[in-house]
């Protein structure tokens, strides 16, 4: 007869609750976006949560997290332009294009501030980028970085991106460290940009550090760390949440009367005296209840993403 094994203490299940809003998280280096999301979700005891696009584990900075009703608009933040502060180490190329890979090429660095300015200027505007192997882009359901770790290189289709601006914020000549602020379209690989600038300068480069500081209208200045969240009470965490419409704050606003708001929430098109617009945020009467997102075509307000009546009511009680 087998001896009885000691029973494992049963952990009480943490009750989940409906939470609605946007948390601007300052993600630390070394943590994946999903790990950061799960830690925040547990702290809030949230029923539903999602992030707005992966931020590489080696990168820190702005990671907008969506809870409840806000998850309906996460794609807006995913598609938004991004802003990064990137540190490039000139004179070294590394496997994967960042500081975690081994050095594969070293060259002397003889560059002037003018040459750096000219090289950066070359990469402004629309361009084609080949995604790096050390990226989360998937091939046959598997991230490219998993192939890279096995020493396998797969063909990647180039993608169109736009670098809106590159500003040189610091150049440490002796350390060969160049700091840039880059404003770009979604899907831009900053490590690829770093390597391309290095080649344009003739000395090679890799990405030594990366921090995301902006996503659409959202800014790192409003972000909070996981450590701070853990120290706060639940009431303090809830108070720090931004409303779901923070993700669409740069869209024009439309306000509907009570009767029209009810019909809009049921999915009916409404006539409005507004110019055509690809995206608008729609509110009911005062108190300002956010109802969802829509577009206007030929004088008709057409719903795209609607909050449920329960979600609208929950936001009114916040």
Query: Looking at the annotation, which residues are catalytic?
Result: 56
- The gap between the terminal CA atoms of the chain, to the nearest Å, is 59
> What are the Cα distances from residue 288, in Å, to 261, 271, 272?
11, 20, 18
With tokens 């880059």, the residue in question is 182
How many whole angstroms separate alpha carbon 307 and alpha carbon 284? 12
Max Cα-Cα span within the chain: 82
In three-state secondary structure terms, 282 is strand
Give strand ranges (E) for the chain. 21-27, 49-51, 60-67, 82-90, 92-94, 103-106, 125-129, 138-139, 142-143, 159-172, 177-184, 205-215, 218-219, 253-255, 270-271, 277-283, 290-297, 300-306
Burial class from Cβ neighbours inside 10 Å (0-12, 13-18, 19+) for residue 10 reads: exposed
CA 39 to chain centre: 17
Question: Following CA atoms 97, 102, 104, 106 in sequence, which dihedral angle do they give, to the nearest 10 degrees?
Answer: 90
List beta partners, residue 301. 270, 296
């Amino acid at each position: 007869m087998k001896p009885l094994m000691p029973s494992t203490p049963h952990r009480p299940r943490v009750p989940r609750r409906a939470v609605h809003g946007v948390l601007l998280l300052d993600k630390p280096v070394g943590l994946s976006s999903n790990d950061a999301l799960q830690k925040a979700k547990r702290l809030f005891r949230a029923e539903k949560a999602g992030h707005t696009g992966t931020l590489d584990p080696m990168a820190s900075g702005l990671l907008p997290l969506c809870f409840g009703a806000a998850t309906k608009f996460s794609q807006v933040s995913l598609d938004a332009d991004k802003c990064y502060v990137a540190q490039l180490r000139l004179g070294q190329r590394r496997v994967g294009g960042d500081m975690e890979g081994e050095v594969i090429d070293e060259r002397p660095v003889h560059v002037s501030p003018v040459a750096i300015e000219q090289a950066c200027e070359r990469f402004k505007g629309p361009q084609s980028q080949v995604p790096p192997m050390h990226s989360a882009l998937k091939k046959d359901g598997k991230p490219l970085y998993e192939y890279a770790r096995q020493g396998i290189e797969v063909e990647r289709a180039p993608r169109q991106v736009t670098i809106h601006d590159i500003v040189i914020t610091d150049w440490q000549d002796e350390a060969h460290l160049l700091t840039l602020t880059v404003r770009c379209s979604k899907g831009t690989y900053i490590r690829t940009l770093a390597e391309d600038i290095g080649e344009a300068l003739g000395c090679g480069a890799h990405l030594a550090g990366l921090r995301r500081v902006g996503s659409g209208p959202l800014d790192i200045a409003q972000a909070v760390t996981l450590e701070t969240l853990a120290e706060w009470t639940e009431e303090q965490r809830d108070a720090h949440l931004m409303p779901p419409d923070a993700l669409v704050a740069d869209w024009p606003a439309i306000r509907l009367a009570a009767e029209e708001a009810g019909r809009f929430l049921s999915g009916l098109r409404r006539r409005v005296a507004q110019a055509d617009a690809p995206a608008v945020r729609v509110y009911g009467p005062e108190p300002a209840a956010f109802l969802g997102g829509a577009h206007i075509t030929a004088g008709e307000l057409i719903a795209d993403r609607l909050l449920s009546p329960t979600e609208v009511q929950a936001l009114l009680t916040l």
